[in-house]
Chains A and B, each alone.
Chain A
Amino acid sequence: MPRTSRFEGRLLIAPLTAFLIALLGFPLVLDIIYSISHVGFENIRAPELTGFSNYAKAIADPEFWAAAWFSLRFGLIVAVIQVVAGLGLAVFLAPLFAKRPWLIALLMLPMMVAPALVGLMYRLILHEFVGAVPYYLLEWYGDFPAFLGRDWAFTTLVTVETLQWTPFALLILHSSYAAVSPDIREAASLDGARGRRLFLNIDLPLMLPAIGITFFLRFIDSFRVFDNLYTLVGPGAGGSTTSMSIYIYQAFFKVGDIGLAVAASMLLLVASFMVLWVINGLTARKAPL
């Protein structure tokens, strides 16, 4: 490549690079410094290096582990349900979408609503006096649970998150299902494969990469859940619904413990890299096939 075009290329990526250095690189450096310092709002410009006590504090905090466990469990459960439900809908409704593509728009609408607002909406919908859900449950079954109480909060949040983001799985898996070549299906059906067998032996293997990607994207989005959780229940009864993001937010804004919040952030970053590393490893191994 001629030297000038390499130079031009560098010029073209310079603005974005500068932007990322300012808003990601610099914050990351601050994160690292603060995480090994004794720091409060009073000495924010001159933090006092103290080693790894902030990390020790985070690791020794049972609430930190409770939050990590909540996020992991929440992310996994929600991702599994969404992929299964999305796959089911995508395949079952495919004939409808093939004739009338706009139908899928109605199922995509939930994704257009801010998760924070969805959380607020459920405060209304689940309210014991004015909410529609308790009203109908009372009408039909004579009783309804305390949706946001200790026993039910997790289930409620899983449902809220699943109902909003199953459309994403549906969308991705629908386009993956529609992309399976009709020739392959025809050839398989000539060989006698029908219905379930056709799906299990032909469609499903071809859709596997898309299913993996969908699962991964839904998992990370739900793992870092903040908005709807914050607006619907906050940390919840006795911290029972504290996700990692909520934990960090609380440590910073409610407790004012910058060092702890930042150390927890760094641990979360390391955890994210580990997940990414595993994912990249999996996809790299699949690539040559």
Chain B
Amino acid sequence: MRKSLVNTLRWLVFAVAVIVLNFPVIATLVTSLKSEAEIMTNASLVIEAPTLDNYAAVFAMADRFDILHFLMNSLVASLIGSALAIFLAFPAAYAMARFGVGRSWLLPLAVNLRAVPLIIFAIPIYLMFQQVGLLDTRFGLALILCLVNVPLVLVLFASSIADLPLEIEEAGRVDGAGTLRLLVYVVAPMSLNVVAASSVLAFIYSWNEFLFGLMLTTNNATPVSVGASFFFAASGGGVRWGVAAAVMILATLPPLILGLLMYRQIGRSMTAGAVKG
């Protein structure tokens, strides 16, 4: 009897936690589905007349603020940034795990980098980008997203490669395979799990990055995390809350869906990244 009571209490706590923690997204979603008129008269979480008008309105103002352009910028920069981070970190992690090269300085550097506020480097990077013409470009933003993600990806790879059985690689060596061939045909296939898990996490972090997007882009390469706030001022006078809410939902949907689908991999990566670091 007492046990079932405690169990009921657990479910209750769980339900409350889900609602409270996800409240910003829930409330924004609700607002985005109300008409402009209803938003002004009904601030509750109950929608009287659900409508998709706000979403239509977002796409209709593409001549001034193009949501698809912002989404595309985020997508391209995040994909390049995550891929580049993996491409750079994977061989380095292998060298650290198998040859011991750089383990004494590169790994601690990467781990400690996560504790350093990146705004410290933001200003010189801004000035550098200005000189070489990388300001307001998707590639420039991607380079920074790579920098943001390299520490985590490196830590994840270094620990996972060290856990791989050495015998298979040795067999490959005996058969005459060089390091590069081993890396591509033996180590990489065995590491696909980690690659997938860390690239999802890197993609989400990239998509959600804000500071560098704000500083290094003005228009052409603006990611949606920055572009979303443009819609708050879109109509000159008061904020069109329905439009703003719809934009926020659109900007949040990609990482949210990824998070729901791949929560296991993301959870494992986050935990490993925290504990191994």
Contacts and interface: CB of A to CB of B under 8 A. Distances in A.
Contacts of A116: 208, 210, 225-226, 228-229
Contact of B95 (A9, A89, A249): A9
A20 interface: yes
A276 B121 CA distance: 18
B27 A124 contact: yes
A80 to B, nearest CB: 17
Interface string B60-101: 000000000000000000000000000111011011101111
B117 interface: yes
A213 B23 CA distance: 27
A175 B255 contact: no
B1 interface: no
A106 B22 contact: yes
Given A23-B143, A23-B147, A108 B259 contact: yes
B258 A12 contact: no
Given A96-B14, A112-B255, A227-B210, A13 B124 contact: no
A217 B276 CA distance: 12
Interface stretch (B50-58, B191-199, B244-252): B244-252
B124 A166 contact: no
Given A113-B24, A125-B27, A131 B112 contact: no
Interface string B94-136: 1110111110001001001111111111111111101100000
B21 A117 contact: no
A108 B127 contact: no
Interface in B5-20: 7, 10-11, 13-14, 17-18, 20
Contacts of A24: 113, 121, 147
A5 interface: yes
A102 B11 CA distance: 14
A272 B116 contact: yes
B273 to A, nearest CB: 9
A123 B277 CA distance: 35
Contacts of B100: 1, 9
Contacts of B171: none
B275 A213 contact: yes
A110 B208 CA distance: 12
Contacts of A28: 121, 124
Given A108-B259, A171-B267, A227-B210, A135 B117 contact: no
Nearest to B241: A130
5 contacts: A16-B150, A102-B263, A109-B21, A120-B248, A249-B122
Interface of A: 1, 5-6, 8-10, 12-13, 15-17, 19-20, 23-24, 26-28, 30-31, 34, 44-45, 89, 92-93, 95-96, 101-118, 120-125, 127, 129-136, 163-164, 166-168, 171-172, 175, 210, 213-214, 217, 220, 223-224, 226-227, 230-231, 244-245, 248-249, 252-253, 258, 261-262, 265-266, 268-269, 272, 275-276, 279
Given A115-B208, A132-B30, 8 more contacts: A16-B150, A31-B120, A104-B267, A110-B25, A113-B25, A166-B21, A231-B210, A272-B115
